[in-house]
Structure 1
Amino acid sequence: MMNALTIAGKQLSSRLFLGTGRYPNPYIQNKAIEASEAEVLTFAIRRVNLSAPDEDAILQHIEKPFQYLPNTSGATSAEEAIRIARLAKASGLSDWIKIEVSQDEKMLIPDPIETLKATEILAEEGFIVLPYTSDDPAICYRLQEAGAAAVMPGGSPIGTGLGILNPYNIERITEKLTVPVIVDAGLGSAADVTQAMELGADGVLLNTAIAKARNPVMMAEAVKYAIHAGRLSYMAGRIPKKKYATASSPVQN
């Protein structure tokens, strides 16, 4: 049996963090959430009515309590991300926050300097900070030192479905960090999810891969099993790769 994932003292039985955007309709969104068995839901704070979050068009369709992970998508500086996070906390949404800071609207690649700055300040203020960042092992380590409760390196640019472009870096990150590593962005299928888990990730965050699949509910279920299979494979330990064949039944001389 897999052990639970723990972030900032909270135990999670599911290692899937699920986005709430881009679904065809609220009914399919809820069915996909149910099939995934995810416990953490993320959404852009700029899409939520902070003056009445319980009546918001997004959150009112979610049928049971979850751990919310609001994100600062759309922020272009640390100052903007910090302001958004404080507003979300003041509204009662959550003290968990996913930091997203990007200068490039086309690629949406995280700004490492601004992300680190926001992480340091918000962690000091008592937020549970989960920064979305690039797959650079050095910046991931710096984010951990800055107080991140978990670090979320991207596999590839958001929404591309390109999968993990640099598995070597992801593996180095999972080896180096002591806080949980959640691979976030660019995963497109259950195969990508399994690879992330086999590289040592503690979990994955998906939105587009499920919401825009031909059958979002079926994909959500596939991802749930992929996480389990990938984690078990990582824990079991793969055989080393070899240049030449090794007979499974060697001839005895």
Structure 2
Amino acid sequence: MTRDTLTLYGETFQSRLLLGTSRYPSPAVLEAAVAIARPAMVTASLRRQSATGAEAGQAFWQMLKRLGVPVLPNTAGCHSVQEAVTTAQMAREVFETDWIKLELIGDDYTLQPDTLNLVDAASQLIKDGFKVLPYCTEDLVLCRRLVDIGCQAVMPWAAPIGTGKGAINPYAMRTLRERIEVPLIVDAGLGLPSHACEVMEWGYDAVLLNTAVALSQDPVKMAGAFASAVQAGRDAFIAGAMAEQQAAQPSTPVLGTPFWHGA
């Protein structure tokens, strides 16, 4: 089936999967995983110490150029609004893009976003010309505020980063999808392709993965599995699921079926 496109901030992408680039066994495995998944974007965090001059950074850049995948810088590890804004501005210079995944961490144990200051950080970045993809919780009020200040897409978690639990609050996530009109990208907490398929069936627009692929026993095969699952979930959403029934319904037509009367 032909893939429908994903549109974010007026830009069109051919995939509904975004892929992280950390914790892979080797650069070669990362490259192979990206090649098979064909993601819309790959995330990359800015290392403040000579990010453009490091040998590893140069190798990473060369890989991205070979694959032709857009980069989504993120503000990973930032704990204050000013730190996040400054990191985003530095990333724009290094990666030569206005796209930014905004991470503003409020709790180091759960890596939960700082919901009290996230809107302020996003607002400052949008005013500065960034295309902001904010990492947040599934809180409806928070997501509405992010949309109100100009975010054209929002990235709620399914579960805490790296847990692989899948959607731990299905009711809130489905409510969020029903009430928020901009694209929603599930970011963090997915562990299995079935988790990705499920949220896509609910109508989410895309998923962002890292740990579930990078720490699997075969990251390349897992990247392909997630890509297929994301597309399957999207196709199912577009197709429209049957209405759930309370009782069994016959699936075989009885018209013309021979009737046995017994002895």
TM-score, scaled relative to structure 1: 0.93
Map of 1:164 onto structure 2: 167
Q: Is 1:59 aligned to residue 50 of structure 2?
A: no
- In 1, Cα distance between the equivalents of 2:95 and 2:122? 20
- CA offsets per residue over residues 106-140 of structure 1, 9 Å max, x none? 10011112111111111111100000000112211
Map of 1:210 onto structure 2: 213
Q: Is 1:239 aligned to residue 239 of structure 2?
A: no
Identify the range of structure 1 (6-15 vs 87-96) with the bigger mean alpha-carbon deviation.
87-96
- Contact in 2 for aligned 1:123/1:147 (Cα 8 Å): yes
The runs of 5 or more residues in structure 1 that have no matched partner are none
- Contact in 2 for aligned 1:167/1:199 (Cα 8 Å): no
Quote how far apart the aligned CAs of 1:249 are.
3.6
What secondary structure does 2:116 align onto? helix
With over 3 angstroms needed to count, the CA separation of the structure-2 counterparts of 1:55 and 1:5, relative to structure 1, is: same
- In 1, Cα distance between the equivalents of 2:167 and 2:101? 20
Map of 2:183 onto structure 1: 180
- CA offsets per residue over residues 93-116 of structure 1, 9 Å max, x none? 321001111121110011112111
Quote how far apart the aligned CAs of 1:39 are.
2.8
How many residues of Structure 1 are paired with residues of Structure 2 in the alignment? 252
Identity of aligned residues (%): 39
What secondary structure does 1:183 align onto? strand
Query: In structure 2, what residue type is equivalent to 1:59?
Result: W
With over 3 angstroms needed to count, the CA separation of the structure-2 counterparts of 1:151 and 1:222, relative to structure 1, is: same
Map of 1:124 onto structure 2: 127
Map of 1:148 onto structure 2: 151
- Contact in 2 for aligned 1:7/1:150 (Cα 8 Å): yes
With over 3 angstroms needed to count, the CA separation of the structure-2 counterparts of 1:241 and 1:146, relative to structure 1, is: same
Query: In structure 2, what residue type is equivalent to 1:71?
Result: N
What secondary structure does 1:172 align onto? helix
Identify the range of structure 1 (165-174 vs 114-123) with the bigger mean alpha-carbon deviation.
165-174
- Contact in 2 for aligned 1:53/1:59 (Cα 8 Å): no
TM-score, scaled relative to structure 2: 0.90
Q: Is 1:44 aligned to residue 45 of structure 2?
A: yes
With over 3 angstroms needed to count, the CA separation of the structure-2 counterparts of 1:178 and 1:53, relative to structure 1, is: farther
Counterpart of 1:195 (choices 193, 198, 203) is 198
Q: Is 1:33 aligned to residue 52 of structure 2?
A: no
What secondary structure does 2:151 align onto? coil
Identify the range of structure 1 (243-252 vs 89-98) with the bigger mean alpha-carbon deviation.
243-252
Map of 2:224 onto structure 1: 221
Quote how far apart the aligned CAs of 1:56 are.
1.4
Counterpart of 1:105 (choices 88, 102, 108) is 108
- Contact in 2 for aligned 1:181/1:202 (Cα 8 Å): yes
Looking at CA atoms only, which structure, 1 or 2, has the larger radius of gyration?
A: 2
Map of 2:260 onto structure 1: none
Q: Is 1:4 aligned to residue 5 of structure 2?
A: yes
Counterpart of 1:91 (choices 94, 97, 119) is 94
The runs of 5 or more residues in structure 2 that have no matched partner are 256-263
Quote how far apart the aligned CAs of 1:49 are.
3.8
Quote how far apart the aligned CAs of 1:90 are.
2.5
What secondary structure does 1:46 align onto? coil
Quote how far apart the aligned CAs of 1:50 are.
3.5
Quote how far apart the aligned CAs of 1:178 are.
2.3
